[in-house]
């Protein structure tokens, strides 16, 4: 068996989260130790159910799904039904899951896994607000040096924000959690809007999933056709940005991405810029470089990888 990389996916499905989870499930290089759901795109009772729906869609009811934080650390929960629909997974008709939700609280699962697995062997893939990750770090600070890497979708700088003029959704929902994570001294790879906005689900690309002719391929095209309409109207583009799969694609083919080590600091005081990720791209401060910030993607190769791997499910 080739060397596999152990990952925990922390997620708020969300159609783009769903495609990221499918990409991971279709990739033998990755060993999904568990999926932890967090409140974000829709409330927790739906994100955890959606995570289980996606595992069953992929024929993987064996995957362990855990429910985590029901709300951000300090602020009220802000959701995004206008983008993802009332269920958070509008588009395909997916039946209610029969696989069971794990009893263990997701934050305890994250802490326990990191304390029990050999140090440096677990990668956290964060696709939603960082509440679960921050809670785990606060509950057990000893996990920080044991985490191999955190690869996260969140933030934005040259692209601005997608919730406010300056803040991207995942960071905006829980800026205090993001502040904890970016200050934890853990190796971070960041996929901000600056790179995800270059990965557009054009009609041709969405059609390629449908042409797989499989349950997964057809459901994926239906998810994307629903999900992309909000950003197509907003940005006037052919297709919408496929954010979260960039995280998993990086683990599989890091060469698809280009970026640089920067300092990333999170605004947690001003309401005007709350949740802004201030990225010191030109190194004008002495602040420590705490993240590899991605800005470019080979988007044709990215979508080819997605079609190839989802075609295996």
Catalytic sites, residue numbers: 243
Does position 132 bind ligand RIB by CB under 6 A?
Answer: no
The minimum distance between CB 155 and Ca ion, in angstroms, equals 13
The minimum distance between CB 106 and Ca ion, in angstroms, equals 15
Q: Which CB sits closer to ligand RIB, 125 or 262?
A: 125
| Site of tokens 């995570």 | 51
Q: How many CA atoms lie within 13 A of 183 on its CB side?
A: 12
Q: Which CB sits closer to Ca ion, 37 or 256?
A: 37
Q: How far apart are CA 88 and CA 145, in angstroms?
A: 34
Does position 149 bind ligand RIB by CB under 6 A?
Answer: no
Does position 128 bind Ca ion by CB under 5 A?
Answer: yes
Q: How far apart are CA 246 and CA 253, in angstroms?
A: 10
Does position 157 bind ligand RIB by CB under 6 A?
Answer: no
Does position 16 bind ligand RIB by CB under 6 A?
Answer: yes
The minimum distance between CB 243 and Ca ion, in angstroms, equals 7
293 binds, among Ca ion, ligand RIB, none (CB under 5 to 8 A by kind): none
- Among the listed residues 168, 194, 222, 231, the single contact to ligand RIB using CB under 6 A: 168
Does position 161 bind Ca ion by CB under 5 A?
Answer: no
- Tell me the two tokens of residue 232: 């197509």
Q: Which CB sits closer to ligand RIB, 41 or 206?
A: 41
Does position 228 bind ligand RIB by CB under 6 A?
Answer: no
169 binds, among ligand RIB, Ca ion, none (CB under 5 to 8 A by kind): ligand RIB
Q: Of 213, 214, 209, 215, give the one whose Cα is nearest residue 228.
A: 209
Max alpha carbon distance in the chain (Å)? 53
Does position 155 bind Ca ion by CB under 5 A?
Answer: no
Does position 34 bind Ca ion by CB under 5 A?
Answer: no
Distance of CA 251 to the CA centre of its chain: 13
Which residue blocks in the chain are alpha helix, DSSP H? 15-25, 44-57, 81-84, 106-116, 131-139, 169-173, 175-182, 193-196, 203-210, 215-235, 245-252, 299-310
Q: How far apart are CA 128 and CA 174, in angstroms?
A: 9
| Site of tokens 């996260």 | 152
Task: Output phi, psi for 9, to 5 deg.
Answer: -105, 120
Residues engaged in binding Ca ion (CB under 5 A): 12, 14, 17, 127-128, 244
Residues engaged in binding ligand RIB (CB under 6 A): 12, 14, 16-17, 40-41, 127-128, 153, 162, 168-170, 243-244
């Amino acid at each position: 068996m080739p060397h596999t990389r152990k990952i925990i996916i922390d997620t708020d499905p969300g159609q783009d989260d769903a495609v990221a989870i499918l990409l991971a499930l279709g990739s033998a290089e990755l060993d999904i130790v568990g999926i932890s759901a967090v409140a974000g795109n829709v409330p927790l009772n739906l994100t955890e159910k959606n995570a289980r729906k996606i595992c069953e869609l992929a024929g993987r009811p064996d995957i362990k799904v855990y429910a985590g934080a029901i709300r951000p650390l300090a602020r009220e929960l802000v959701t995004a039904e206008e983008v993802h629909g009332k269920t958070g997974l509008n588009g395909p008709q997916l039946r209610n899951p029969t696989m069971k939700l794990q009893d263990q609280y997701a934050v305890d699962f994250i802490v326990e896994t990191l304390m029990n697995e050999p140090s440096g062997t677990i990668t956290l893939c964060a696709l939603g607000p960082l509440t679960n990750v921050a809670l785990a770090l606060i509950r057990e600070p000893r996990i920080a040096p044991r985490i191999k890497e955190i690869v996260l979708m969140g933030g934005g700088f040259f692209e601005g924000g997608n919730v406010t003029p300056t803040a991207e959704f995942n960071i905006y929902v829980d800026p205090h959690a993001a502040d904890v994570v970016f200050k934890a001294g853990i190796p971070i790879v960041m996929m901000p809007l600056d790179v995800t906005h270059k990965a557009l689900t054009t009609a041709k690309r969405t059609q390629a999933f449908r042409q797989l002719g499989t349950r997964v391929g057809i459901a994926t095209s239906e998810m994307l056709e629903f999900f992309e309409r909000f950003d197509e109207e907003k940005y006037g583009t052919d297709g919408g940005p496929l954010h979260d799969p960039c995280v998993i694609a990086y683990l599989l083919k890091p060469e698809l991405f280009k970026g640089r080590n920067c300092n990333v600091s999170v605004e947690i005081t001003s309401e005007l810029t709350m949740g802004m990720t201030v990225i010191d791209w030109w190194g004008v401060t002495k602040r420590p470089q705490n993240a590899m910030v991605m800005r470019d993607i080979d988007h044709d190769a990215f979508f080819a990888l997605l079609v190839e791997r989802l075609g295996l499910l």
